[in-house]
Homo-oligomer: A and B are copies of this chain.
Amino acid sequence: MEKTDAIAALAALAQDNRLDVFRLLVQAGPNGMPAGAIAEALDVAPNTLTFHFDRLRTAGLVTVRRDGRSMIYAAQFDTMNALLSFLTENCCGGTPCTPAAICKPARKRAKVPA
């Protein structure tokens, strides 16, 4: 992950509503949640939420797909893991001191088994 991407991801997470959205989506797992359900769960106006989804999406932290009238947002675990790797990259004097991939959805077995 490039520094620019890391900054985008950090900035995307560095905001109350967006951090809530992302955490909710991480808990929701790969299937994601419709925008409306997120708006209701977090009590945020739908148009405000669209603004934040855009930021998260630009940062590569979430994806969208349409399902009927709903837009389903889902966390992008790969990007989150890339961010975590980036952040630990210059610890321990350059020697990697942590297992690489970290963040996986609950149950459901991730595509790439450890």
Is A42 at the interface (CB under 8 A from chain B)? no
A23 with B90: CB separation less than 8 A:
yes
Known contacts: A88-B102, A102-B98. The answer to whether A10 contacts B3 by CB under 8 A is: no
Is A66 at the interface (CB under 8 A from chain B)? no
**Which of these, B11, B95, B105, contacts A14 with CB under 8 Å?**
B11
B102 with A95: CB separation less than 8 A:
no
Q: How many chain A residues have a CB neighbour from B under 8 Å? A: 34
Tell me how far the C-beta of A10 lies from the nearest C-beta in chain B, rounded to whole angstroms: 4
B7 with A14: CB separation less than 8 A:
yes
A13 with B10: CB separation less than 8 A:
yes
Known contacts: A11-B14, A106-B93. The answer to whether A6 contacts B27 by CB under 8 A is: no
